[in-house]
Amino acid sequence: MRYVLGVDVSTTGAKALLIDERGAVIDAQNTALTLQQPQPLWSEQNPDEWWQGAVASIRAVTQRHPDKPIAAVGLTGQMHGLTLLDSEGQVLRPAILWNDQRTQAQCDEITAKVGFERLIQLTGNRALTGFTAPKILWVREHEPEVYRRIAHILLPKDYLRYKLTGQTASEMSDSAGTSLLDVANRRWSQEVLDALDIPRAWLPQLYEGTEVTGAITDEAANLTGLPAGTPVVGGGGDQAAGAVGVGAVRPDVIGLSVGTSGVVFAPLSQYAYEPEGRLHAFCHALPNAWHFMGVMLSAAGSLQWYHDTLTPDVSFDALMQEAAQAPAGCEGLRFLPYLTGERTPHPDPLARGGFIGLTARHTRAHLTRAVLEGVAFGLRDCFELIRAVGIPANAVARIGGGGARSLLWRQIIADVIGMPVTSVNTTEGAAFGAALLAAVGVGLYPDAASACAACITTTEVVEPSAEAAAYEQPYREYVALYPAIRPVLWG
């Protein structure tokens, strides 16, 4: 039996996941990470904390399983984060993260310099505050002393790669989220780099997610317990790796993640883009594959906020039991889940959430269910855009993330999107996908489709119920709320 390791550096933790070649989870270890918000709208982390967290998690796993030799390591992690190194490989400042919102002026500058239509054609996306390129321009404008010392620009998981292997490298799916990649041709866009005056030499060498990018150094081996020379495979950004982890590697399997954010991930066999940039168009972590992605920023995060703020002494299970007693549509109560701004279909960092339609008749059960329904409506917004550009008639949605544990929520989502929602046997998300990519990278499987077929099975299918029709009018009302409220509350 052979084993592979998936390493995931998320916003909240550094995780190491050990699986065997059949996909069975042997062990997992997560080390918590801290988040810094030094100013309103800012979000930063210390890259050394990523590394120390990854070392702690990997070492815990290797020490517990010295009899299970690891054939390869796959990497995944939070996308878009700007990590700056000098010529000696030292970190120049805290990393600016995906959920940092300070760069709207730089996004406007990018759009003006490249052109709105051309930017979407080349990079598959609008310039968004979460992406990497506007962060680079922000540093140039506000921290010129840091900017002058830049030698390398890396994404979060690729900083771990650098520390593990000594190589500055990235792969296509994560790099597609920088606004600097020619996504159709899977290479850095010299046109965009020239327009923004960013040196090509700062950017890492590109690989596919299933390619070997380097090997564990002696120094990293001493720290982690991994054998020196162990191959490190490209891996993928967290969403692409998470899609691999549920088997969304072909166009008829759509990945649906209900984590802190909500993601609808639709694989594509050829590059395409949504002309208005309301959908992300990225490279997949697989060779010659791309994907559309719709993202809502507060999915399970909305329920977490609701629980922590309004019902901290009530368990999630109790809340769900109450919500099941409220009728579909919540008797006119709507919830807008824009607690941290929004991306799809409204690329608006200033969007705000709210309960609309409250009456004295509404109870806590209605409020809870309204949150569940509001998130489902946000996911449907993503599905509607993807349907407009084409989904195979036989497509199914495979669901993951913390929100997927609730049967009630899965049923609401199936009813709202009008599609069966399928659970799978894996719950380890992006780390599991990274491990499968590592298995492909060292030849345990010929390709990702084969790895997924061997290691992932479906466990439960929730079909749309008779209540599905009851959500049509509430969904239309939900869609009408953003344009109606926006000019009043946030201009």
CATH (domain of 108): 3.30.420.40
Nearest Cα to 77, choosing from 431, 436, 438, 440? 431
Residue 10, both tokens: 């998320």
Q: Report the C-alpha gap between 413 and 436 in whole angstroms.
A: 28
Provide the pLDDT for residue 388.
86
CA 216, 217, 223, 227: dihedral to nearest 10 degrees? 50
Residues of the chain where predicted confidence (pLDDT) is lower than 50: none
Provide the pLDDT for residue 299.
95
Provide the pLDDT for residue 341.
87
- 329 assigned to some structural domain: no
Question: CA dist 341 to 29, 129, 295, 374, Å?
Answer: 32, 11, 11, 14
- 209 assigned to some structural domain: yes
Burial of 366 per CB tally in 10 Å (0-12, 13-18, 19+)? buried
- 405 assigned to some structural domain: no
- 138 assigned to some structural domain: yes
- For the annotated catalytic residues, the residue numbers are 238
- 29 assigned to some structural domain: yes
The DSSP secondary structure of 323-391, one letter per residue, reads HTTSPTTGGG-EEE--BTBB-SS--BTT---EEES--TT--HHHHHHHHHHHHHHHHHHHHHHHHHH--
Q: What value does the CA radius of gyration of the chain take, rounded to a whole number of Å?
A: 22
Q: Which domain holds residue 71?
A: 3-246
List Cβ neighbours of 489 (8 Å cut-off, separation of 6 or more). 352
- Residue in this structure with the two tokens 């390619």, named with its chain if needed: 211
- 124 assigned to some structural domain: yes
Question: CA dist 422 to 248, 398, 411, 456, 459, Å?
Answer: 12, 5, 10, 12, 7
- 304 assigned to some structural domain: no
- Residue in this structure with the two tokens 């899977």, named with its chain if needed: 186
Provide the pLDDT for residue 190.
98
Provide the pLDDT for residue 279.
93
Number of domains in the chain: 1
- Residue in this structure with the two tokens 């916003």, named with its chain if needed: 11
Q: Report the C-alpha gap between 317 and 71 in whole angstroms.
A: 40
Tell me: the pLDDT tens digits for 198-239? 999 999 999 999 999 999 999 999 999 999 999 999 999 999
Provide the pLDDT for residue 389.
80
- 474 assigned to some structural domain: no
